Amino acid sequence: MNADNFDLNIFLKNLPNLPGVYRMLDKNGQVLYVGKAVNLKRRVSSYFQKNDHSPRITLMVKQVERVETTVTRSEVEALILENNFIKALSPKYNILFRDDKSYPYLMLSGHSFPQMAYYRGSLKKGNQYFGPYPNSYAVRDSIQIMQKVFRLRTCEDSVFAHRDRACLLYQIKRCSGPCVGHISEETYQADVQQAVAFLNGKTDELTQILHQKMQQAAQDLNFEEAALYRDQIRALGLVQSQQYVDSNKPERAQDIDILALAAEGGVVCVHWVSVRGGRHVGDKSFFPAAGGEGVPEIQEFGEAFVAQHYLGKAKPDIIISNFAVPESVQEAINSEHHKNIQFVSHTIGSRKVWLKMAEQNAKLAIQQHLLQHGKQSARLDELAQVLEMNPDDLNRLECFDISHTQGEATVASCVVYDEENIQPSQYRRYNITTAKAGDDYAAMREVLTRRYGKMSEAEANGESVRWPDVVLIDGGKGQIGVALEVWAELGLQIPLLGIAKGPERKAGLEELILPFSGKTFQLPSNSPALHLLQTIRDESHRFAITGHRKKRDKARITSSLAEIPGIGSKRRQALLTRFGGLRGVMAASVEDLAQTEGISKALAEKIYDTLH
């Protein structure tokens, strides 16, 4: 139904007294808010019949032009659907805990000699997954422990299948060398089972088994094997003393999440502590984005976090929190995998100590957030003065840089600064295709035209477009002149700012160019605005040059391989596949290269000499 013929009174009168989800939309069809209701008629009508709403909700209701509803069979089903809508639509007035990436896992593959690896993505059958972990560091730390204690392989299948001698990890006792038969499949699988027991928190049982094996090896006068078990026991003891948080033995194997909600200075934080198999594997602080004015009740933040963090995702055995989780949320989470998760909001003993520590970390995270927020705000306010803009109108900046080596493999970067922070997920690289090699001006013209021309077309087609408030150009008057020509062609009025390198390219001596006002000047080296511009400019340069190097190296090695007599497309592909890419080919020895199908010893020597 279009907003033009939407009659709110008729709509409210005909709403059913059933559970469901409602969506508030503005005049442009953008979803402002998504909510759930036990009774749609009573809940939705309350928005338009009561006058005691918070400033945030009052502001939202003024913008509502249309309401859409979806009836569900129960409140639990409504909660799950609401969460799906929130994640898909990111409504302006909902509490959103933004986390663009999926959480990482430690994976043991389903091979005869399983690979131990860092994994992020949808879970696949046949493999074993442990986690999720709060960040990549926690996974890699666990992998290092497992390498030292259980010596499981971490190499890719393509490398594992073609080794003719053990790698360096075997030499330093971080791998048992299954690729070349230094360990039997039966013994390796036993090590895998021990690793699984460790990850599941059964460290005491594992230590006892290792003690028995050590004693038996000593009795058999196999002292080298006994020493290996001794080293494993020591490593496990060190890990156990440093990282285990639950001292109750029956609970060692449980996965526990500890959630601490804190609020200070108008900032809300949820601190998540992850305990897997009784071992503290890491933690992370989350800051919600609640649109509009006014602050929701503190309980709402806790409920929103639990729903968004666990619905549709892996779940622990126990969730301990300093706030109560509504029964409807508990039921929805448990219903997904028929898993009876324990929700605990009042606890004692060591768990209470860990909950208090999580609360302390949440408060510390808020203090850091406030300090960073204040620092960024000061930088933006001064930059707004420099640009002669209203500080409220300066939020999003986009910066462009061009990178190449004497015209080879030219790449342009676009780095985004928004919400008082750099936004890596919104960065973009552009391979320059039309500009003449080495022509920086033409390259800048191409990237600006491609990016903003596409945005102009999208807006003309009625799509929502997020324009920058200021565009930064890493370059002098020549690059700025090109940008002005593109602006004239596209009819843009976005402020431009050029950042030219100062004398001897020293930081702090940058020359700033404001083309619309005709000003060229320098800021003091201690200027907060200059520091912000330097940060964004340096990030744009870094992002451009890393992209350029990848493109250049790929082109060079591919062309180098193609120039070697006897290397056609099939052999080139065989090399790249076996060694996992270009770096692997360059790192391979003559003997390794000769093991590739179709590559003789003589040809391997030619390849090695060409690449080195």
For the chain, how long is the longest CA-to-CA vector?
90
| pLDDT exceeds 90 at position 208 | no
The answer to whether 317 touches 255, Cβ cutoff 8 Å, is yes
pLDDT band of residue 235 (cuts 50, 70, 90) is low
More confident position, 514 or 281: 514
Number of residues in the chain: 612
Range from 30-34, 510-514, 586-590 carrying the lowest mean pLDDT: 586-590
pLDDT at 23 over 90: yes
Of the listed ranges 395-399, 490-494, 559-563, the one predicted with least confidence: 559-563
Tokens of 505: 């390219």
At residue 293 the predicted structure's pLDDT band, cuts being 50, 70 and 90, is very low
Q: Which pTM was predicted?
A: 0.58
pLDDT class for 296, splitting at 50, 70, 90? Answer: low
Residue 345 in tokens = 């909001």
Q: Which domains does the chain have, with CATH numbers?
A: 3-93 (3.40.1440.10), 251-368 (3.30.420.340), 391-551 (3.30.420.340), 564-611 (1.10.150.20)
Average pLDDT of the residues in 262-266: 83
**If you average pLDDT over residues 3-27, what whole number do you get?**
85
The whole-number pLDDT of residue 378 equals: 85
| 99 vs 510, residue with greater confidence | 510
The mean of the pLDDT values for the chain is 82
| Spatial separation of the C-alpha atoms in residues 228 and 150, rounded to whole Å | 10
Phi and psi (nearest 5°) for 285? -105, 140
Give the pLDDT band (50/70/90) at residue 444.
very high
DSSP three-state, residue 459: helix
Query: 581: number of CA atoms within 13 Å, CB side?
Result: 5
Q: What is the pLDDT of residue 407?
A: 56
Contact 427, 541 (CB under 8 A): no
- CB count within 10 Å of CB 581 equals 14
What is d(CA 286, CA 369) in angstroms, rounded to the nearest whole number?
Answer: 11
Q: What is the mean pLDDT of residues 247-255?
A: 54
Q: How buried is 508 (Cβ within 10 angstroms: 0-12 exposed, 13-18 middle, 19+ buried)? A: middle
pLDDT at 101 over 50: yes
User: Strand pairing of 342-344 and 428-431?
Assistant: unpaired
Quick one: pLDDT at residue 292? 42
- Ranges of H-type helices in 284-407: 298-310, 327-337, 349-386
Q: Look at 320-329, 351-360, 367-376 and tell me which has the smallest mean pLDDT.
A: 367-376
Q: Which of the two residues, 525 and 339, has the higher pLDDT score?
A: 525
Report the distance separating Cα 432 and Cα 434, nearest Å: 6
Structure tokens at 297: 């009740």
Rounded mean pLDDT, 163-173:
85
In tens, the pLDDT along 370-398 reads 777 778 888 899 999 989 888 888 989 99
pLDDT score, position 34:
93
Residue 114, preceding bond cis, omega within 30 degrees?
A: no
Q: What is the mean pLDDT of residues 90-107?
A: 77
pLDDT band at 343 (very low <50, low <70, confident <90, very high): very high
Stretch 78-85: mean pLDDT, rounded?
88
DSSP 244: B
Q: Are 113 and 160 within 8 A, CB to CB?
A: yes
Mean pLDDT, residues 208-220 taken together: 80
pLDDT of residue 482: 94
pLDDT at 547: 74
Helix or strand or coil: residue 91? coil
Q: Give the tokens for residue 162.
A: 């073609």
For position 40, what pLDDT does the model report? Answer: 93
CB atoms within 10 A of CB 433: 9
Report the candidate in 602, 574, 582 with the shortest Cα–Cα distance to residue 161: 574
Could you tell me the two tokens for 491?
A: 């009819």
* Backbone conformation region of residue 502, classed left if phi is above 0, alpha if psi is from -120 to 50, else beta: beta
Written as six digits, the tokens of 32 are 């402002």
Average pLDDT over residues 168-193: 89
Question: Quick check: helix, strand or coil at residue 595?
Answer: coil
Confidence band, pLDDT 50/70/90 cuts, at residue 170: confident
Instruction: For residues 129 and 386, give the distance between their C-alpha atoms in angstroms, rounded to a whole number.
Output: 52
DSSP string, 501-536: --GGG-TT-PEEEETTTTEEE---TT-HHHHHHHHH
Q: How confident is the model at residue 244 (pLDDT cuts 50, 70, 90)?
A: very low
Model confidence over 133-152: pLDDT tens digits? 877 877 887 888 788 878 89
- Please say whether the beta carbons of 529 and 388 come within 8 A: no
pLDDT at 454: 92
- Quick one: pLDDT at residue 470? 95
Contact 416, 423 (CB under 8 A): yes
Of 105-109, 199-203, 340-344, which gets the smallest average pLDDT? Answer: 199-203
Which of 263-277, 384-398, 482-496 is predicted least confidently? 263-277
Task: Count CB neighbours of 242 within 10 A.
Answer: 9
Share of the chain above pLDDT 70, in %: 87
- 223-243 helix and 136-150 helix, angle to the nearest 10 degrees: 150
What six digits make up the tokens of 263?
A: 């609020």
Tell me what the mean pLDDT of segment 407-429 comes to: 85
CA distances (Å), origin 229, targets 191, 201, 206, 243: 12, 19, 11, 21
Query: What single DSSP character describes residue 255?
Result: -
